[in-house]
Amino acid sequence: MEKNPIIAGNWKMYKTIKETKDFLEKLSSSLNNQRANVYIAPSFISLFFAKEIAKDTKIKIGSQNMHYESEGAFTGEISPGMLKEIDMDFVILGHSERRNVFKEDNSLINKKVLSSLENNIQPILCIGETEKERDSNSTNEVLEDQLTKNLLNVSKTQMKNVIIAYEPVWAIGTGKTATPDIAENAHLYIRKVITKLYDKDIANSTYILYGGSVKPDNIEILLGQHNIDGALIGGASLKIDTFLEIINKS
The 10s digit of each residue's pLDDT in 31-62 is 988 999 999 999 999 999 999 999 989 999 99
Residue 71 has pLDDT above 70, yes or no: yes
How much is the pLDDT for 1? 52
- pLDDT of 76-134, one tens digit each? 999 999 999 999 999 999 999 999 999 999 999 999 999 999 999 999 999 999 999 99
Q: Give the Å distances, CA to CA, from 48 to 73, 82, 84.
A: 23, 11, 11
Residue 52 falls in the annotated catalytic set: no
Which member of 97, 104, 129, 167 is catalytic? 167
Which member of 67, 95, 184, 187 is catalytic? 95
Instruction: Provide the CATH number for the domain formed by 6-249 in this structure.
Output: 3.20.20.70
Residue 167 falls in the annotated catalytic set: yes
Q: Give the Å distances, CA to CA, from 17 to 43, 136, 200, 248.
A: 9, 43, 43, 26
Q: How far apart are the first and last CA of the chain?
A: 10
Q: Where are the domains of the chain?
A: 6-249
Residue 172 has pLDDT above 80, yes or no: no
Helix ranges (H only) for the chain are 17-30, 47-54, 80-85, 96-100, 106-118, 131-135, 139-150, 156-159, 180-197, 200-205, 219-223, 240-249
Residues 244, 29: Cα–Cα separation, whole Å? 11
Residues 230, 4: Cα–Cα separation, whole Å? 8
CB neighbourhood size of 105 (10 A): 10
Q: What is the mean pLDDT of residues 164-191?
A: 90
Residues 152, 107: Cα–Cα separation, whole Å? 9
Residue 174 has pLDDT above 90, yes or no: no
